[in-house]
Structure 1
Amino acid sequence: LNMAMPAAYLKQFHKKYQTEEKLAELVKKNKVKKWTVLHTRMSRTYRPENPDLPTLDPWRNTTAPPAEQFIFERNPYFHRVDEAGRQLPYVDRFILNSSTSSIIPAKTGAGESDLQANAIDFTDYAFLKESEQRYPVKVTLWKKTQASRLALLPNLNYKDPAWQALFRDPRVRRALSLAIDRHEINEALFFGLGTESSDTLMPESPLFKPEFAKAWIEHDPEQANALLDAAGLSARDSDGIRLLPDGRRAEIIIETAGESTLETDALELVTDYWAKVGVKLFIRTSQRDIFRSRAIGGEIMMAIWSGMDNGIATGDMNPAQLAPTSDDQLQWPVWGLYTQSHGEMGAAPDVTEANALLELYKAWRMTSSMQARNDIWSKMLTIYADQVFSIGLLNATLQPVLRSSRLVNMPDTGLYGFEPTSYFGVYMPDTFWLNKDA
């Protein structure tokens, strides 16, 4: 939420303050269709790609895209100072190299980075740890804040009517969850260091309850089979694959962005688990930039992604991820779009429990009482866990963080995630500095 923007700079891109002729010229120059798109592009702060945009951040980007290397320089107008009155940040300049995600672990392990966590994963830890012997770097493990490191998201807005009806049946979602052996996934992919859990809050949250984490996660193929039978999938073909009411085989395509071997490794295991309960799984690699549009169009049957970003929430933090509120929620993108667009696009939720979550979310927004907010969170977590709208696998997994041995003021361990820690943001990177004598 931006409460204020630099008016002196941005007025030139707004029709209220710019002449029609000049605005048309700027629209054409920047190759956009209308001035609103231009204004949005020039004002984006979460993607600091406009070098001319005034900023309150510690550093400002000086490189215009497209580029493979972006240079950030300290902002002379930054507002924070240290205890001695010295203006922050300490680091005058840093360079951000843009690379293909698949080669970032190799480049990081080759000593090409002073600070790296993005695009490296737990599977890279052993390799990165070896780099400590060759380069002046240090590799540590931080706990990820995601409610589930990996989650399977059945699309309740999938365009196939038969599968849409099945995915909206909680018995099917619960069965698919119960069929998964999370303990084996934990041991195989995380050496047992993760925590088997549904897509819910972690013990670090004051709102955590064990029953949320344990909801429908026990490996129980027998119960999974019974639930699928009860949902109308009792018939099977000669291969043991269940048949839909219209006679088609129960074949589920799970799409992945293909950015992490963890996802494909986990899906290989899930393929075996689901086959034992009569469900055939196929893996399809898609592209991240078209995931949302394909999901909204009902083209993605099921996706593997991470669970809720904020797994350590408190009652005063927004519970929007538990309700259909955004079009980037792959389990109900059309309903999320409806809420996001204030009813102008998408479709209103027509599943009772999804509507209940949305009403609770609206109630949370209308109250300032901490007790009321805590109660609302608890009700939403109860519904979300019981309905298994997201099939979480594991949380409390570990994130490798590589840093230069010369980097000072950065903690050895911490919580790592987009929300609520803003990755390294909560640890005040404007106070980090490089000790040249180290």
Structure 2
Amino acid sequence: MIGLRRISQGLSFLALVGVVLARGAQAEVPYFQHAVLSGLLPPMEERLPTNPLEVTPGKDQVIGNYGGKLRTLIGNPSDVKLMFVNGYARLVGFTADLEIKPDILESVEVSEGRIFTMKLREGHKWSDGHPFTSEDFRYWWEDIANNPKLSPAGPPAPLIINGELPTVEFPDAKTVVYSWSAPNPNFLTDLAGAAPLLIYRPAHYLRKHHVAYIDPAKLSPVQKIKLKAWAANHNRLDNLYKFDNPNLPTLQPWRNSTPPPATRFVGKRNPYFHRVDPEGRQLPYIDELIFTVSESKLIPAKAASGDVDLQARGLRLQDATFLKENEQRSQYKVLLWETARGSHFTLYPNLNSEDATWRKLMRDVRFRRALSLAVHREEINDILFFGLAVEGNNAVQKQSPFYTEELRTKWATFDLDKANALLDEMGLTERNNDGIRIMPNGKPLVIVIETAGEETEQSDILELINESWEQIGVEVFTKPSQRAVFRNRIFSGETVMSVWSGFEDGIPNAQSSPAARAPTSQTSYQWPKWGQYFETKGKSGEPVDIPEAQHLFELYERWLASTNDDEKAEIWREMLNIHADQQFTIGVVGAILQPVVVSDNLRNVPREGIYNWDPGAQFGIYHPDLFWFEN
């Protein structure tokens, strides 16, 4: 009898499994079926919000199938953050048409351009299954942003309008309200960024590490000692963007499961992700992301060998021919996407250089104009970009309503006579035996141009620039360093000139924020200390002390206060004209085509797209959660 009872129980269990599979096999994600049947996870309908976001496949996309591991290569471990960037789950996000729509939020209502009422989705959960509510917003605002230990400079500068912080309210578990007395047209754009303004944190996880929620009486002597460093520990654990803490709950389609240091990071699908396809199936389609660290110079060769399923990072237009030759052998396709930066390669004279002689030279507009006129852009384009690039300033691309030929070419045509005349006019007439001009301090005019050392392309361009600059008596010395060192040297004023890509938003319209064109960010390498002064509300850095740069800042403030699109457009045009005239940054070539390697088995990657950081989040606006493997 006992044996029969066990057989009966076993048959009952199998029958139950059969019923569950019959009812839910099509709806339930196969990756989670075992966990659901084992009781480790609730079924899909209980994991989703009551009103999930339905994502409709766009151009070149269809409803897909579940499964697979997507392989890609990254240049260094910190690039694990690209799981967050490309996952592109934001409170509000850009569509492929660059319109802003609710994403994590169920809705957002904007009143008078200054009151933002955000509604959360009922039943939305973090990746660990804990409810996502207004408490997560309250915790960030009250316990992090306004805690002097965790945020010494106070809340982020983008939240300050006319010196005023927002009023932040939490009427109920599903509602968050941010309001100012004046319009804040950047707010939604900031929330939608590739590296967005993150105004929430998983309170249930971080409270355990916050001194306000820890009872010292319950701690051991060793724990009490560690408590003294609670703020540093909290900051280390709570960076949603860096994506380097596998224990930190996330709202992204995949969660990083690998702690650093590592050379291979695995992103596993988030069981509580809030999006579904038109058939009601939970996204993403792909189960795991595999991010493998590789030397940047080896990425093209590894991609050509079929070691990736999707790759753009580390690939250049110069690699396209080599990659095309290996398409059939390695079973992939090479797509060429447009880019949208103001310029692909840009020189940044550091107007905040610590060296008094260099500071004076870099701040003389004649010097910046001369350097720009002596860049042989056509030669660079022909030799390195097959003549396919657009030569000119770090301005806007043709897709922008503000584009004009003058913006592209002013002070950016090759004219050695005019360049030499400008330098002579400055009094830099004396030269040494090698024909290099002598600076006022008696030293030869040798500009050390610093790079992050990540791309040989930069060295190739600088070599060509050196050849043309020598004809005006200026010599170039290139100094590569690691990215963190490179940035810190710029921020401290140790650099004279640096190289980076141009303005990220090269296709702006009247509603786009012109913040990057004004001294508002330390990461603007032409004026890092002015940007730092703005970001820290005057606690560090230097106040702007050049009239033209101050005027840019005033124009930006006018744009912030305006609610009229025509006025906003005029402000944009004036700011762009100032940049072209002043040559605060020296653009070289733009509109570079970006090779994108896509495995033959990978579906829903658009054949045509814009590869850009912000707006765009690289692949983010094209919904990688909709990408899927045919086999």
TM-score range, shorter chain: over 0.9
Q: Give the equivalent residue in structure 1 for 2:330.
A: 135
The question of 1:13 aligning with 2:231 is answered: no
Alpha-carbon distance between aligned partners in 1 of 2:301 and 2:338, rounded to the nearest angstrom:
22
One-letter code of the match for 2:542? A
The answer to whether 1:300 aligns with 2:495 is: yes
The residue aligned with 2:76 is none
- 1:112 is displaced (CA, Å) by 0.7
Shift of residue 25 of structure 1?
A: 6.7
Pair 1:387-2:582 in alignment: yes
Distance 2:462 2:513 in 1: 31
Cα distance in structure 2, aligned partners of 1:329 and 1:279: 25
Q: What is the DSSP-based 3-state SS (H/G/I as helix, E as strand, rest coil) of the residue aligned with 1:232?
A: coil
Residue 168 (structure 1) aligns with: 363
C-alpha spacing 1:33/1:281, structure 2 compared with 1 (3 Å): farther
Q: Does 2:427 match 1:235?
A: no
| Displacement of 1:342 | 0.8
How far the C-alpha of 1:27 sits from its partner, in A, is 10
| Selected match of 1:217 from 412, 434, 439 | 412
1:208 counterpart residue number:
403
**1:13–1:23 Cα contact (<8 Å) kept:** no
Residue 257 (structure 2) pairs with residue 57 (structure 1): no
Deviation at 1:276, TM superposition (A): 0.4
> Is contact 1:27–1:35 with CA below 8 Å preserved after alignment?
no
Distance in 2 between residues matched to 1:26 and 1:295, nearest whole Å? 39
Aligned to 1:77: 272
**Residue of structure 2 in register with 1:345 after alignment:** 540
Distance 2:225 2:405 in 1: 56
- Asked if the contact 2:216–2:224 (Cα under 8 Å) also holds between the matched residues in 1, the reply is no
Q: Percent identity?
A: 46
List 4+ stretches of structure 1 deviating above 6 A: 23-29
Pick from 439, 447, 452: which aligns with 1:244? 439
345, 369, 379: which is aligned to 1:184?
379
Distance 1:70 1:240 in 2: 52
Q: Cα deviations across residues 225-269 of structure 1 (Å, max 9, x unaligned)?
A: 111111221222232211222322111111112211111110111
Does the residue aligned with 1:255 lie in a helix, a strand or coil? strand
Structure whose alpha-carbon radius of gyration is higher: 2
Residue 149, structure 1, aligned to residue 344, structure 2: yes
- Shifted more, 318-327 versus 148-157: the winner is 318-327
> Does the C-alpha gap of structure 1 residues 27 and 183 become closer, same or farther in structure 2, counting only changes over 3 Å?
farther
One-letter code of the match for 2:247?
D
> TM-score with structure 1 length normalisation?
0.94
**Where in structure 2 are the equivalents of 1:80-91 lying within 5 Å?**
80-91=275-286
Q: Look up the SS of the partner of 2:276 in the other structure.
A: coil
Question: Does the alignment pair 1:2 with 2:234?
Answer: no
C-alpha distance in 1 between matches for 2:199 and 2:519: 25
Q: Say if 2:325 is the partner of 1:123.
A: no
Give the 3 Å change call, closer, same or farther, for CA 429–349 of structure 1 in structure 2.
Answer: same
Aligned with residue 333 of structure 1, among 528, 546, 554: 528
**Alpha-carbon deviation of 1:131?**
2.0
Structure 2 CA distance for partners of 1:100 and 1:37, relative to 1, 3 Å: farther
Q: Deviations over 1:357-412 (max 9, x none)?
A: 12222232333332332222222111111100000001100111101111111111
Aligned pair partner of 2:595 in 400, 404, 411: 400
Q: Is it true that 1:272 corresponds to 2:470 in the alignment?
A: no
How big is the shift at 1:291? 1.3
Native 8 Å contact 1:139 1:401 kept in 2:
yes
Q: Residue 23 of structure 1 contacts residue 35 of structure 1 at CA under 8 Å; is this kept in 2? A: no
- Given that 1:145 and 1:419 are in contact with CA atoms closer than 8 Å, whether structure 2 keeps it comes out as no
Residue identity opposite 2:382 in structure 1: E
Contact 2:602 2:629 survives alignment (8 Å): yes
Contact 1:144 1:415 in 2 (8 A): yes
Change (3 A) 1:176 1:20: farther
Per-residue deviation, residues 168-219 of structure 1 (Å, max 9, x unmatched): 0001000000011101100001000100020011011122222211121110
Corresponding residue to 1:315 among 510, 518, 521: 510
Aligned partners of 1:27 and 1:38 also within 8 Å: no
The answer as to 2:449 corresponding to 1:254 is yes
Whether contact under 8 Å (2:362, 2:368) holds in the other structure is: yes
CA RMSD of aligned residues (A): 2.0
**Structure 2 counterpart of 1:36:** 231
Code of the aligned partner of 2:362 = F
For residues 427 and 344 of structure 1, the distance between their equivalents in structure 2, rounded to whole angstroms, comes to 40
After superposition, the Cα gap between the structure-2 partners of 1:137 and 1:152, relative to the gap in structure 1 and judged at 3 Å, is same
Match of 1:433 in 2: 628
Change (3 A) 1:384 1:35: farther
1:64–1:370 distance in 2 versus 1, CA, 3 Å? same
CA contact (8 A) 1:149 1:395 kept: yes
Paired with 2:220 and 2:264, the residues of 1 have a C-alpha distance of 30
Query: For the residues of structure 1 that align with 2:222 and 2:309, how far apart are their CA atoms?
Result: 42
TM-score by length of 2: 0.66
**Partners of 2:515 and 2:579 in 1: how far apart?**
12
Hey, what's the Cα distance between the residues in 1 that align with 2:299 and 2:355?
Answer: 38
Q: Secondary structure at the match of 2:211?
A: coil
Q: Which amino acid aligns with 2:528?
A: P
Contact 2:392 2:413 in 1 (8 A): no
Q: What is residue 286 of structure 1 aligned with on the other side?
A: 481
* Cα distance change, pair 117–161 in 1 and its aligned pair in 2 (3 A): same
Contact 1:292/1:327, CA 8 A, preserved across alignment: no
**Alpha carbons of 1:24 and 1:7: their partners in 2 closer, same or farther (altered >3 Å)?**
farther
Instruction: Look up the equivalent residue of 2:388 and give its one-letter code.
Output: L
The one-letter code of the counterpart of 1:296 is: F
- After superposition, give the CA deviation of every residue in 1:7-59 in whole Å (9 maximum; x if it has no partner): 11122222222335869978987xx9843333333222222111122222111
Q: Secondary structure at the residue paired with 1:140?
A: strand
Letter in 2 for 1:95: I
Distance verdict in 2 for CA 1:365–1:23, change over 3 Å: farther
Q: How many residues align structurally?
A: 434
State the Cα deviation string for residues 137-168 of structure 1 (Å, max 9, x = none): 11111111211110111111112211110100
Distance in structure 2 (CA, Å) of the matches to 1:354 and 1:13: 43
Note the C-alpha offset of 1:310.
1.4
Contact 1:111 1:135 in 2 (8 A): yes
Q: Residue 415 of structure 1 corresponds to which residue in structure 2? A: 610
The structure-2 alpha-carbon separation of the partners of 1:130 and 1:387, relative to structure 1 and needing over 3 Å to count, comes to same
Structure 2 CA distance, aligned partners of 1:23 and 1:17? 16
